[in-house]
Amino acid sequence: MLFRKVDRPLPRSVDGPWDWPLIERRSRVVRRGACALTIAPAWGISAAPSAPGRLGRGGPWEVEAREVERAYGADRTLHVSLEEFARTLPVAPETRERLREGGVPARALSARVAVARRRREDEAFRRAFERFRAFERANVLHLFATFRPDRGFAGEFPEAVQCGPLWPRRYEPRDARRLAGSRPRREWVWYASPASSEAIAPEVIAGLARVDPRIRLYVRTPRPWTIAIPTDRVKVVTGEVDPGAWRRRFAGAELRIITGSRTLLEALELEGPFLYFNGVLGRGSRRRRHRPEKIVALLRLGARHGVAPALLRDLAEFARGRSVRAVVARAAARRGGWARFPRSFGRPAFAPPFDDAGALILAAARALARRGGGAGEIVQAIRDGSKG
């Protein structure tokens, strides 16, 4: 159920288009049982109540969260907070990453980190992170999905529950095999969401031009491209795409160029070749990856499970926007590590049910229903269990 009060329009960009399973929209809370469970992204930002003082404005879903708790009671309401995928850095590495992404060049990074430490920026970040994740709320289950747990992060933020990914479960590997068998021509698809995708597009196209038979590139992007495109080999789509048609094209592609977390997990479910590009910032010597933690976490998992080093290097270079033409040409010709792309990069390093965020949410919901309350105790038990 999607609950939004009748006099409150949905926040901008929330309202679709969706191709989710059936959604039942509600404008008021109707009690159907003894307990309730809600799911929100980053609950401490999106649904936390207003508070006095600076930066105290509540989240865009605070009214709805309050209405649910008013109807059921706080101890019979369990809020699941889905935090950003694979962003589980302890404070000191987080400071370094924040400065790197902010534009501090590599040669100056260590000195700038030392300045941040003297200025007690680490402590300021820790306090802000705890506040704006609402870690003090006993009935909020904060799920930090990733591929491998970080012990340092767990030690610094014991309220954070690290777990395996929330798998989309949109595809099965047989979908790819079935559609690939009926594909009339070689085709790659590119979910080109980052604005900097256009900057590397000429190199991608040039890399594909080196192979025979010819590969057609289908690009889905939210913004028009201004560069010249060889329309006989590349199709760029900027408008809405029929969800069913996109699923079939994505599943049947010979290779997928993906971004962010959702398409990364979908590509992993399909067990086929992919390249990852989440965008770059800056130019020249200041060019740097945008939010690379997801591909970094996956590459580390692959390295631990014996994925070919040459393939891992190609994936890392492409994610940086480097050696794009050469990497694309090798992938298209299936040379080197691309000759045998792994079906899996390894299983997430968590014990059940922590290996799957979806299974963990279901376990929490069933515990709440079975007990008829005790949301805070359930959350604490899950937090304790996540420590191993």
d(CA 380, CA 299): 32
- Nearest to 2, CA basis, from 251, 16, 148: 16
What structural domains does the chain harbor? 2-83+133-165+352-386 (no CATH), 173-340 (3.40.50)
d(CA 142, CA 82): 6
Residues 6+ apart with CB under 8 A from 302: 312, 342, 345, 346
Rounded to the nearest angstrom, the gap between the alpha carbon of residue 221 and the centroid of all alpha carbons in its chain is 18
Q: What is the pLDDT of residue 183?
A: 64
In degrees, rounded to 5, the angle at the alpha carbon of residue 121 between the alpha carbons of residues 117 and 127 is: 130
Alpha-carbon dihedral sign for residues 8, 63, 129, 296 = negative
Q: What is the pLDDT of residue 283?
A: 82
Q: What is the pLDDT of residue 219?
A: 98
Q: Phi, psi (5° rounding) for residue 302?
A: -65, -40
Can you list the alpha helix ranges (DSSP code H) found in the chain? 43-46, 62-72, 91-101, 106-118, 121-132, 151-156, 173-181, 197-208, 243-252, 262-270, 293-304, 309-319, 324-333, 357-371, 375-386
**Residue 296: how many CA atoms within 13 Å on its side-chain side?**
12
Q: How far is CA 205 from CA 96, 102, 233, in A?
A: 35, 30, 9
The per-type count for the chain, helices as H runs and strands as E runs, is 15, 13
Q: What is the pLDDT along the chain (388 residues), one digit of tens a residue?
A: 999 999 999 988 786 666 667 788 899 998 989 999 999 999 999 999 999 999 999 999 999 999 999 999 999 999 999 999 999 999 999 999 999 999 999 899 999 999 999 999 999 999 999 999 999 999 999 999 999 999 999 999 999 999 999 999 888 877 767 766 666 679 999 999 999 999 999 999 999 998 988 999 999 999 999 999 999 999 999 988 888 899 999 999 999 999 999 999 999 999 999 999 999 998 876 788 999 999 999 999 999 999 999 999 999 999 999 999 999 999 999 999 999 999 999 999 999 999 999 999 999 999 999 999 999 999 999 999 998 7
Residues 6+ apart with CB under 8 A from 367: 378, 381
CB 210 within 8 A of CB 329: yes
Q: What is the pLDDT of residue 180?
A: 64
Q: What is the pLDDT of residue 185?
A: 77
Residues 6+ apart with CB under 8 A from 69: 77
d(CA 145, CA 196): 26
Show the tokens assigned to 215.
Answer: 């590969």
Show the tokens assigned to 218.
Answer: 């289908």
d(CA 328, CA 3): 45
* Dihedral, CA of residue 248, residue 253, residue 259 and residue 265, to nearest 10: 70
- Strand partners for 142: 81
pTM of the model: 0.93
d(CA 103, CA 48): 31
The single-letter DSSP state of residue 151 is H
Q: How far is CA 177 from CA 183, 189, 250, in A?
A: 10, 16, 12
d(CA 295, CA 306): 16
CB 222 within 8 A of CB 238: yes
Name the one residue in this structure whose structure tokens are 């003090």: 136
Q: What is the pLDDT of residue 117?
A: 95
Q: Which one-letter amino acid corresponds to residue 90?
A: P
Q: What is the pLDDT of residue 192?
A: 96
d(CA 350, CA 149): 7
DSSP sequence for 318-347? HHTT-SHHHHHHHHHHT-GGGGG--S-S--
- Nearest to 300, CA basis, from 181, 195, 147: 147
Q: What is the pLDDT of residue 181?
A: 61
**Residue 222: how many CA atoms within 13 Å on its side-chain side?**
5
